[in-house]
Amino acid sequence: MNKRTLLQTTLALTGLLTLGSAQAQMTPIKFQLDWRFEGPAALFLTPVAKGYFKDAKLDVTVDAGSGSGGAVTRVASGTYDLGFADLAALMEFHANNPDAPNKPVAIMVVYNNTPASVMALKKTGIKTPADLAGKKMGAPVFDAGRRAFPIFQKANGIGAVNWTAMDPPLRETMLARGDVDAITGFTFTSLLNLEARGVKAEDVTILPYADFGVKLYGNVIIATPKILKENPEAVKAFLAAFTKGAKDVIANPAAAIEYVKQRDGIINVALETRRLQLAIDTVINSPDARAEGFGQLNPGRLSLMASQVSDAFQTKTRINPDAVWNGSYLPSAAALNILPAPKAAPAKAAPAKK
Annotate 224-269 with DSSP letters as a single string. Answer: -HHHHHH-HHHHHHHHHHHHHHHHHHHH-HHHHHHHHHHH-TTS-H
In whole angstroms, what is the distance from residue 110 CA to residue 86 CA? 10
Residue 2, pLDDT score: 62
Residue 35's nearest CA partner among 79, 81, 68 is 68
Residues with Cβ within 8 Å of 287's Cβ and at least 6 positions away in sequence, in order, are: 342
pLDDT in tens, 200-237: 999 999 999 999 999 999 999 999 999 999 999 999 99
pLDDT in tens, 31-69: 999 999 999 999 999 999 999 999 999 999 999 998 899
In whole angstroms, what is the distance from residue 53 CA to residue 29 CA? 10
In whole angstroms, what is the distance from residue 327 CA to residue 109 CA? 9
**CA distances from residue 32 to 85, 112, 224 in whole angstroms, order as listed:** 9, 19, 12
Annotation: CATH topology of 26-113+217-324: D-Maltodextrin-Binding Protein; domain 2 (3.40.190)
Average pLDDT of every residue of the chain? 92
Sheet with 136-138: strands ordered across: 162-164, 136-138, 182-186, 116-121, 204-208
**Helix axis angle, 253-263 relative to 269-279, nearest 10°?**
120
Neighbours of 49 (CB within 10 A): 17
Is the separation of the CB atoms in 81 and 231 below 8 Å?
no
Residue 142, pLDDT score: 86
pLDDT in tens, 260-274: 999 999 999 999 999
Residue 348, pLDDT score: 53
pLDDT in tens, 309-330: 999 999 999 999 999 999 999 9
- Bridge-partner residues for 164, per DSSP? 138
102 pLDDT above the threshold of 90: yes
Which segments of the chain belong to CATH 3.40.190.10? Answer: 26-113+217-324, 116-211
pTM above 0.75? Answer: yes
In whole angstroms, what is the distance from residue 32 CA to residue 187 CA? 22
In whole angstroms, what is the distance from residue 108 CA to residue 292 CA? 12
**CA distances from residue 81 to 178, 221, 239, 288 in whole angstroms, order as listed:** 43, 11, 13, 29
Is residue 342 very low, low, confident or very high in pLDDT (cuts 50, 70, 90)?
confident
Mean pLDDT of 64-89: 95
Q: For the residues of 116-138, what is the DSSP string, one character each?
A: EEEEEEGGGT--SGGGGTT-EEE
Residue 128, pLDDT score: 97
Is the separation of the CB atoms in 89 and 66 below 8 Å?
no
Higher-scoring residue by pLDDT: 195, 8: 195
Annotation: CATH topology of 116-211: D-Maltodextrin-Binding Protein; domain 2 (3.40.190)
Residue 354, pLDDT score: 44
In whole angstroms, what is the distance from residue 308 CA to residue 314 CA? 10
Residue 341, pLDDT score: 85
